[in-house]
Amino acid sequence: MMMLALPVPISRLLVPAAVRINSRSAAHLAALGHGAGRVKKTSDAQHHKTKIDEIITRLQKLGTGPLCDADKGHRLAASTSDDPDVQKYKGLNLMDTDLMKLRHAPDDAMPSVMVGVARTVQMSRPNDFLAVLCALTELSTGDVLVVNTGGSTRAVAGSLFTTEASRRGCTGIVVDGPIRDVNGLECFAFSTKVTPYAGTVQHLGDGVDTSSVICAGVMVNPGDIIFADSDGVICGSVDSFSTCLHDAEHIVAAEERLIQGMKLGVSLHSMTNFDDHISARKEGKESSLTFKDLRTVKFTGVDHVEVS
Protein backbone atom coordinates (compact mmCIF):
# COMPACT_ATOMS: atom_id res chain seq x y z
CA MET A 1 0.00 0.00 0.00
CA MET A 2 1.40 3.43 -0.96
CA MET A 3 2.59 5.69 1.83
CA LEU A 4 1.37 9.18 1.01
CA ALA A 5 1.78 12.41 2.92
CA LEU A 6 -1.26 14.13 4.34
CA PRO A 7 -2.39 17.29 2.48
CA VAL A 8 -2.13 19.24 5.75
CA PRO A 9 1.19 19.35 7.67
CA ILE A 10 0.89 16.67 10.30
CA SER A 11 2.04 19.01 13.06
CA ARG A 12 -1.08 21.15 12.48
CA LEU A 13 -3.61 18.34 12.67
CA LEU A 14 -5.85 18.15 15.71
CA VAL A 15 -4.97 15.14 17.82
CA PRO A 16 -6.59 13.71 20.94
CA ALA A 17 -5.18 14.85 24.27
CA ALA A 18 -2.37 12.64 25.47
CA VAL A 19 -3.19 10.12 28.15
CA ARG A 20 -0.88 8.77 30.79
CA ILE A 21 -1.05 5.52 32.74
CA ASN A 22 1.05 3.95 35.44
CA SER A 23 2.88 0.76 34.49
CA ARG A 24 0.69 -1.25 36.86
CA SER A 25 -2.81 -2.36 35.90
CA ALA A 26 -5.75 -0.08 36.69
CA ALA A 27 -7.13 -2.68 39.08
CA HIS A 28 -3.81 -2.84 40.91
CA LEU A 29 -3.68 0.95 41.16
CA ALA A 30 -7.14 1.01 42.67
CA ALA A 31 -6.11 -1.63 45.21
CA LEU A 32 -3.22 0.56 46.40
CA GLY A 33 -5.60 3.21 47.72
CA HIS A 34 -6.53 3.35 51.41
CA GLY A 35 -8.13 5.74 53.89
CA ALA A 36 -9.17 9.18 52.62
CA GLY A 37 -7.12 8.83 49.46
CA ARG A 38 -8.66 5.59 48.32
CA VAL A 39 -11.65 7.11 46.54
CA LYS A 40 -9.43 9.45 44.52
CA LYS A 41 -6.97 6.71 43.58
CA THR A 42 -9.80 4.43 42.58
CA SER A 43 -11.34 7.23 40.50
CA ASP A 44 -8.00 7.99 38.81
CA ALA A 45 -7.47 4.32 38.03
CA GLN A 46 -10.93 4.06 36.50
CA HIS A 47 -10.27 7.18 34.42
CA HIS A 48 -7.03 5.66 33.10
CA LYS A 49 -8.81 2.43 32.24
CA THR A 50 -11.60 4.28 30.44
CA LYS A 51 -9.08 6.24 28.36
CA ILE A 52 -7.19 3.08 27.40
CA ASP A 53 -10.42 1.32 26.48
CA GLU A 54 -11.34 4.23 24.20
CA ILE A 55 -7.93 4.14 22.50
CA ILE A 56 -8.06 0.38 22.03
CA THR A 57 -11.56 0.59 20.52
CA ARG A 58 -10.33 3.10 17.93
CA LEU A 59 -7.17 1.10 17.24
CA GLN A 60 -9.25 -1.97 16.36
CA LYS A 61 -10.28 -0.23 13.13
CA LEU A 62 -6.70 0.48 12.03
CA GLY A 63 -3.64 -1.39 10.78
CA THR A 64 0.10 -1.21 11.35
CA GLY A 65 0.63 0.59 8.02
CA PRO A 66 -1.43 3.71 8.79
CA LEU A 67 -0.04 3.83 12.33
CA CYS A 68 3.54 3.70 11.04
CA ASP A 69 2.73 6.43 8.49
CA ALA A 70 1.30 8.63 11.25
CA ASP A 71 4.29 7.89 13.49
CA LYS A 72 6.70 8.88 10.73
CA GLY A 73 5.04 12.28 10.42
CA HIS A 74 5.04 12.92 14.16
CA ARG A 75 8.71 11.92 14.47
CA LEU A 76 9.57 14.42 11.75
CA ALA A 77 7.50 17.10 13.45
CA ALA A 78 9.14 16.38 16.82
CA SER A 79 12.61 16.73 15.31
CA THR A 80 11.90 20.06 13.58
CA SER A 81 9.38 21.84 15.82
CA ASP A 82 10.13 24.48 18.44
CA ASP A 83 6.98 23.52 20.34
CA PRO A 84 7.90 21.60 23.53
CA ASP A 85 4.63 19.66 23.38
CA VAL A 86 5.45 18.45 19.86
CA GLN A 87 9.07 17.70 20.76
CA LYS A 88 8.12 15.36 23.60
CA TYR A 89 6.65 12.77 21.21
CA LYS A 90 8.49 9.49 21.89
CA GLY A 91 7.20 7.50 18.96
CA LEU A 92 5.97 4.00 18.20
CA ASN A 93 8.42 1.12 17.85
CA LEU A 94 8.20 -1.70 15.33
CA MET A 95 9.61 -5.06 16.37
CA ASP A 96 12.13 -6.54 13.92
CA THR A 97 9.93 -8.08 11.24
CA ASP A 98 12.72 -10.47 10.21
CA LEU A 99 12.57 -11.97 13.71
CA MET A 100 9.04 -11.54 15.09
CA LYS A 101 6.56 -13.61 13.10
CA LEU A 102 2.82 -14.17 13.32
CA ARG A 103 2.33 -17.83 14.23
CA HIS A 104 -1.43 -17.82 14.72
CA ALA A 105 -4.42 -15.54 14.29
CA PRO A 106 -7.85 -16.81 15.37
CA ASP A 107 -10.04 -17.61 12.35
CA ASP A 108 -12.97 -15.76 13.88
CA ALA A 109 -10.96 -12.81 15.16
CA MET A 110 -12.94 -9.61 14.79
CA PRO A 111 -11.17 -7.30 14.41
CA SER A 112 -8.29 -9.03 12.65
CA VAL A 113 -5.70 -7.20 14.74
CA MET A 114 -4.18 -7.88 18.13
CA VAL A 115 -4.32 -4.91 20.46
CA GLY A 116 -4.03 -4.75 24.23
CA VAL A 117 -2.01 -3.71 27.26
CA ALA A 118 1.45 -5.25 27.74
CA ARG A 119 2.06 -7.56 30.70
CA THR A 120 5.78 -8.31 30.75
CA VAL A 121 7.81 -11.32 31.87
CA GLN A 122 11.59 -11.62 31.90
CA MET A 123 12.67 -15.25 32.25
CA SER A 124 15.62 -15.56 34.62
CA ARG A 125 16.56 -19.05 33.45
CA PRO A 126 16.63 -19.93 29.75
CA ASN A 127 14.58 -23.01 28.84
CA ASP A 128 12.52 -22.90 32.05
CA PHE A 129 9.06 -21.40 31.62
CA LEU A 130 7.58 -21.64 35.12
CA ALA A 131 7.69 -17.83 35.32
CA VAL A 132 5.57 -17.64 32.16
CA LEU A 133 3.14 -20.20 33.54
CA CYS A 134 2.81 -18.17 36.76
CA ALA A 135 2.18 -15.00 34.74
CA LEU A 136 -0.72 -16.75 33.06
CA THR A 137 -2.62 -16.74 36.37
CA GLU A 138 -2.54 -12.92 36.39
CA LEU A 139 -3.78 -12.30 32.86
CA SER A 140 -7.20 -10.84 32.23
CA THR A 141 -9.32 -9.35 29.47
CA GLY A 142 -7.39 -7.06 27.13
CA ASP A 143 -3.90 -8.13 28.19
CA VAL A 144 -1.07 -9.06 25.84
CA LEU A 145 1.66 -11.17 27.43
CA VAL A 146 5.14 -10.11 26.29
CA VAL A 147 7.99 -12.48 27.16
CA ASN A 148 11.74 -12.31 26.85
CA THR A 149 12.96 -15.90 27.23
CA GLY A 150 16.58 -14.98 27.91
CA GLY A 151 17.85 -16.86 24.88
CA SER A 152 15.78 -20.02 25.34
CA THR A 153 15.97 -22.76 22.74
CA ARG A 154 12.95 -24.60 24.23
CA ALA A 155 9.31 -23.60 23.81
CA VAL A 156 7.74 -21.54 26.59
CA ALA A 157 4.12 -21.69 25.35
CA GLY A 158 1.89 -23.86 23.19
CA SER A 159 -1.68 -24.98 22.69
CA LEU A 160 -2.46 -25.53 26.40
CA PHE A 161 -1.02 -22.15 27.37
CA THR A 162 -2.81 -20.16 24.66
CA THR A 163 -6.12 -21.94 25.28
CA GLU A 164 -6.00 -20.91 28.94
CA ALA A 165 -4.86 -17.41 27.99
CA SER A 166 -7.82 -17.14 25.62
CA ARG A 167 -10.18 -18.39 28.32
CA ARG A 168 -8.96 -15.59 30.59
CA GLY A 169 -9.63 -12.98 27.90
CA CYS A 170 -5.99 -12.44 26.98
CA THR A 171 -5.71 -10.92 23.49
CA GLY A 172 -2.45 -12.65 22.59
CA ILE A 173 1.17 -13.42 23.34
CA VAL A 174 4.42 -11.99 21.96
CA VAL A 175 7.50 -14.08 22.70
CA ASP A 176 11.17 -13.27 22.07
CA GLY A 177 12.04 -16.94 21.84
CA PRO A 178 10.34 -20.18 20.80
CA ILE A 179 6.78 -21.43 21.10
CA ARG A 180 5.21 -24.65 19.77
CA ASP A 181 1.94 -26.32 18.69
CA VAL A 182 1.47 -23.79 15.91
CA ASN A 183 -1.51 -25.67 14.49
CA GLY A 184 -3.22 -25.81 17.88
CA LEU A 185 -2.83 -22.26 19.17
CA GLU A 186 -5.93 -20.35 20.26
CA CYS A 187 -5.17 -16.65 20.70
CA PHE A 188 -2.99 -14.37 18.60
CA ALA A 189 0.58 -15.61 18.89
CA PHE A 190 3.81 -14.00 17.71
CA SER A 191 7.29 -15.37 18.34
CA THR A 192 10.82 -15.23 17.01
CA LYS A 193 11.22 -19.02 16.92
CA VAL A 194 9.31 -22.30 16.83
CA THR A 195 10.39 -25.66 18.28
CA PRO A 196 8.48 -28.79 19.35
CA TYR A 197 10.69 -29.19 22.45
CA ALA A 198 9.25 -27.74 25.66
CA GLY A 199 11.31 -26.33 28.51
CA THR A 200 11.30 -27.20 32.22
CA VAL A 201 9.14 -25.69 35.01
CA GLN A 202 11.36 -25.28 38.08
CA HIS A 203 12.35 -21.60 38.46
CA LEU A 204 9.77 -19.05 39.60
CA GLY A 205 11.45 -15.93 38.28
CA ASP A 206 10.59 -12.40 39.39
CA GLY A 207 6.91 -12.32 38.45
CA VAL A 208 4.88 -10.32 35.95
CA ASP A 209 5.33 -6.57 35.27
CA THR A 210 8.44 -6.34 37.44
CA SER A 211 10.60 -5.00 34.61
CA SER A 212 10.70 -3.86 31.03
CA VAL A 213 11.74 -6.47 28.47
CA ILE A 214 13.48 -6.47 25.11
CA CYS A 215 11.39 -8.14 22.43
CA ALA A 216 12.72 -8.43 18.86
CA GLY A 217 14.89 -5.36 19.39
CA VAL A 218 12.24 -3.19 21.05
CA MET A 219 11.95 -2.20 24.71
CA VAL A 220 8.47 -3.01 26.03
CA ASN A 221 7.34 -1.47 29.31
CA PRO A 222 4.54 -2.81 31.52
CA GLY A 223 1.41 -0.89 30.57
CA ASP A 224 2.53 -0.10 27.02
CA ILE A 225 0.05 -0.73 24.23
CA ILE A 226 0.81 -3.59 21.84
CA PHE A 227 -0.71 -3.46 18.36
CA ALA A 228 -0.12 -6.16 15.76
CA ASP A 229 -1.40 -7.58 12.51
CA SER A 230 0.03 -9.76 9.75
CA ASP A 231 2.54 -7.02 8.85
CA GLY A 232 4.19 -6.72 12.26
CA VAL A 233 4.08 -5.83 15.95
CA ILE A 234 4.14 -2.23 17.20
CA CYS A 235 4.75 -1.14 20.77
CA GLY A 236 4.40 2.29 22.33
CA SER A 237 3.21 4.28 25.29
CA VAL A 238 -0.41 5.27 25.72
CA ASP A 239 0.67 8.86 24.96
CA SER A 240 2.29 7.92 21.65
CA PHE A 241 -0.67 5.88 20.42
CA SER A 242 -3.06 8.63 21.49
CA THR A 243 -1.06 11.17 19.49
CA CYS A 244 -1.06 9.02 16.33
CA LEU A 245 -4.71 7.97 16.39
CA HIS A 246 -6.30 10.94 14.59
CA ASP A 247 -3.77 10.94 11.76
CA ALA A 248 -3.89 7.16 11.29
CA GLU A 249 -7.68 7.32 11.07
CA HIS A 250 -7.39 10.09 8.47
CA ILE A 251 -4.98 7.97 6.42
CA VAL A 252 -7.30 4.95 6.55
CA ALA A 253 -10.24 7.08 5.40
CA ALA A 254 -8.24 8.59 2.54
CA GLU A 255 -6.98 5.20 1.37
CA GLU A 256 -10.52 3.81 1.42
CA ARG A 257 -11.58 6.67 -0.85
CA LEU A 258 -8.68 5.98 -3.21
CA ILE A 259 -9.64 2.32 -3.42
CA GLN A 260 -13.26 3.27 -4.06
CA GLY A 261 -12.15 5.51 -6.91
CA MET A 262 -9.91 2.89 -8.51
CA LYS A 263 -12.71 0.32 -8.39
CA LEU A 264 -14.87 2.81 -10.31
CA GLY A 265 -12.20 3.33 -12.96
CA VAL A 266 -10.22 6.32 -11.72
CA SER A 267 -6.43 5.97 -11.74
CA LEU A 268 -4.51 6.21 -8.49
CA HIS A 269 -2.16 8.83 -9.92
CA SER A 270 -5.00 11.15 -10.94
CA MET A 271 -6.28 11.20 -7.36
CA THR A 272 -2.94 12.49 -6.09
CA ASN A 273 -0.63 15.34 -7.00
CA PHE A 274 1.65 12.80 -8.69
CA ASP A 275 2.39 14.85 -11.85
CA ASP A 276 3.16 18.03 -9.92
CA HIS A 277 5.28 16.06 -7.46
CA ILE A 278 7.35 14.48 -10.25
CA SER A 279 7.88 17.86 -11.92
CA ALA A 280 8.99 19.44 -8.65
CA ARG A 281 11.43 16.65 -7.88
CA LYS A 282 12.92 16.80 -11.39
CA GLU A 283 13.64 20.47 -10.72
CA GLY A 284 15.16 19.64 -7.36
CA LYS A 285 12.36 21.35 -5.45
CA GLU A 286 10.94 20.17 -2.15
CA SER A 287 7.65 18.35 -2.59
CA SER A 288 5.34 15.84 -0.92
CA LEU A 289 3.11 13.26 -2.55
CA THR A 290 -0.39 14.05 -1.30
CA PHE A 291 -4.02 13.09 -1.80
CA LYS A 292 -6.25 15.46 -3.72
CA ASP A 293 -9.58 16.58 -2.30
CA LEU A 294 -11.40 13.27 -2.77
CA ARG A 295 -14.77 14.59 -1.62
CA THR A 296 -15.55 15.83 -5.14
CA VAL A 297 -13.78 13.29 -7.34
CA LYS A 298 -15.63 12.52 -10.62
CA PHE A 299 -15.51 8.76 -11.07
CA THR A 300 -15.81 7.03 -14.46
CA GLY A 301 -19.41 6.11 -15.26
CA VAL A 302 -20.81 8.36 -12.54
CA ASP A 303 -21.82 12.00 -13.02
CA HIS A 304 -20.52 13.14 -9.64
CA VAL A 305 -19.63 11.36 -6.46
CA GLU A 306 -19.41 12.97 -3.04
CA VAL A 307 -17.09 11.04 -0.75
CA SER A 308 -17.70 12.09 2.83
Reported as a single tens digit per residue, the pLDDT across 93-136 is 999 999 999 999 998 766 689 999 999 999 989 999 999 999 99
Backbone angles phi, psi at 240, to 5 degrees: -65, -45
Which residues are CB-contacts of 282 (< 8 A; sequence separation ≥ 6)? Answer: none
Average pLDDT for 131-143: 94
Angle of helix 64-80 relative to helix 238-263, nearest 10 degrees?
Answer: 120
State the average pLDDT over residues 289-298.
63
31 or 97, which is more confident: 97
Is residue 34 over pLDDT 50? Answer: no
Categorize the per-residue pLDDT at 170 as very low, low, confident or very high, splitting at 50, 70 and 90. Answer: very high
Per-residue pLDDT for 240 more than 70? yes
Q: Which amino acid, 144?
A: V
For residue 126, cis peptide bond before it (omega within 30 degrees of 0):
no
What is d(CA 111, CA 279) in angstroms, rounded to the nearest whole number? 41
Predicted confidence band of residue 155 (pLDDT cuts 50, 70, 90): very high
Question: How many CA atoms lie within 13 Å of 306's alpha carbon, on the beta-carbon side?
Answer: 1
Tell me the whole-structure pTM to 2 decimals.
0.79
Return the DSSP state at 55. H
Q: What is the mean pLDDT of the chain?
A: 83
- 184-223 pLDDT, tens digit per residue, is 999 999 999 999 999 999 988 888 888 999 999 999 999 9
